[in-house]
Structure 1
Amino acid sequence: MNRAALLVLADGRFPAGGHAHSGGAEEAVTAGRVRDVASLEEFSRGRLHTSGLVAAGLAAAAAAGHDPLLLEEAADARTPAPALRHTSRRLGRQLLRAARATWSCAELDALAAARPRGAHQPVVLGVTARCAGLAPLDAAYVAAYESIGGPVTATVRLLRLDPFDAAAVLARLAPDIDHVAAAAAEAAQRVHTDGTAALPAASAPLLDMAAEQHAVRSARLFAS
């Protein structure tokens, strides 16, 4: 196991394209649902336990070696909003490009050939983690952290929050990240017996609707 690769993959400077996306935070700020540190923490906790949990489960399953094309179908079923599907595949395409430049791996090449227009980001993340020598739990941790790390960082720019306060939000949510990653990895183990139905399917309708609204907004700072 190459645990140091976890630091590379989770580093915000890894060129996977996430810096251009707010994970729904921009639309939440525009709508007034995120106004300050307290509401940011509430938003982040909700996102972590819904879309973050789903992403962590898919990533863990891909890292465990399950068929990424079957996981693509599972990701589609768990991503009803067209705007979020587009964003996920766009981020997946960028992550796959960065991953193939970083780790030489036949599984990454095969996924790129099968999905030339982009695979879902959590699936790509899991395959990347596997190729980097990481465990399913590691992949789940990266996915869970990314699900809130991006929105928190974006909100610093959107609301001019104190970066120290934003970092404190992530620190306070650390136990939740532990819980989500463990639950996702445990669900991924059940895919062997129960199929992809074992993976988390938590929904976040407000995030879905906000993504569709953001996609047609003419003036915006972030792509999503």
Structure 2
Amino acid sequence: MSRAALLVLADGRFPAGGYAHSGGMEAAVASHSVHDKASLQAFCQGRLHTAGLTAAGLAAAAAAGHDPLTLDEAADARTSGPALRQVARRLGRQMLRAARVTWPSPDLDRLARLRPQGVHQPVVLGVTARAAGLTPLDAARCAAYESIGGPATAAVRLLSLDPLDATALLAGLAGELDDVAGAAAEAADRVTADGVSALPAVCAPLLDILGERHAAWNVRLFAS
């Protein structure tokens, strides 16, 4: 196992397409629900404990070797908004392309062959982590961090925030992120061959609503 692989996978420069997505931040700024550092922190905390926890559980289960196609169906069931399902698959396709070059693996090749239309990004993340020799907890940490790192970075551009403030906010959430990743990895340990009901299924209706609104815009800075 190489922890350096975790740094590569979690790096914003890993060409997985996430830089083009705001994680709901663009729509949240437009609706004025996020307008300063305090409201950004509240948004990121809420996203971490809902969408972030759910994504971390899926990633951890995939990294543990559970069937990614079953997990992809579970991800569909946990993503009520059609727009966000489409985004998750688009991001999954992009990550899969990058991962197959970076960490060649029969599991990644099989996923690309069986689901050319795309697989939810957290599931691809977990399979990628496994191919890179990382643990389910590593995959959960990466997914949890991504759930808040993207929106915080987008907020810097959308609100002209000081990047240092955004970075400090992420660092301040490190303890909660560890807790979320740990809970997700423990849930993945309880997944059985009979089903994935042990995985987190925490909903965030506002994120779904923001995603649908954003998808209908004619002009936008971010893809989602």
Normalised to the residue count of structure 2, the TM-score between the two structures is: 0.99
Equivalent pairs counted in the alignment come to: 224
Give CA deviations for 1:20-65 in whole Å, capped at 9, x if unaligned. 0000000000000000001000000000000000000000000000
Q: Alpha-carbon deviations, 1:137-179, whole Å to 9, x = none?
A: 0000000000000000000000000001000110111111001
SS at match of 1:196: coil
Find the counterpart in structure 1 of residue 188 from structure 2: 188
**In 1: Cα distance, 2:33 partner to 2:194 partner:** 38
Which residue in 2 is equivalent to 1:19? 19
Does 2:60 correspond to 1:60? Answer: yes
Distance 2:2 2:210 in 1: 38
Amino acid at match of 1:104: P
Query: What's the counterpart of residue 40 of structure 2?
Result: 40
Query: Structure 1: how far apart are the matches of 2:220 and 2:90?
Result: 18
**Partner deviation per Cα, 1:88-143 (whole Å, 9 max, x = no partner):** 00000000000001011000000000110110000000000000000000000000
Work out the CA distance in 2 between the residues paired with 1:89 and 1:77: 14
User: Residue 207 in 1 paired to residue 195 in 2?
Assistant: no
Give the C-alpha shift of residue 193 in structure 1.
Answer: 6.8
Give the residue type in structure 2 aligned to 1:67: D
Q: How far 1:194 sits from its partner (Å)?
A: 6.5
Structure 1 runs of 4+ aligned residues shifted over 3 Å read none
More deviation, 77-86/192-201: 192-201
| Equivalent runs, 1:1-224 vs 2, <5 Å | 1-192=1-192, 195-224=195-224
CA–CA distance in structure 2, aligned partners of residues 14 and 165 of structure 1: 23
Q: Secondary structure at the match of 2:55?
A: helix
Structure 2: segments with no counterpart, 5+ residues: none
Amino acid at match of 2:135: A
CA shift for structure 1 position 195: 2.5
Mapped to 2, the partners of 1:202 and 1:193 lie a distance apart of 22
Instruction: Give the deviation of 1:6 after TM superposition.
Output: 0.2
**Residue type of the partner of 1:189?**
D
The code of the aligned residue for 1:135 comes to: T
Whole-Å separation in 2 of the counterparts to 1:4 and 1:133: 10
Cα distance in 1 for partners of 2:33, 2:10 equals 28
Aligned partners of 2:44, 2:194: CA distance in 1, in Å?
30
Deviation at 1:192, TM superposition (A): 2.6
Task: For 1:219 and 1:193, locate their aligned partners in 2 and report how far apart those are by CA, in whole Å.
Answer: 45
Q: What CA RMSD, in Å, does the superposition of the two structures yield over aligned residues?
A: 0.8
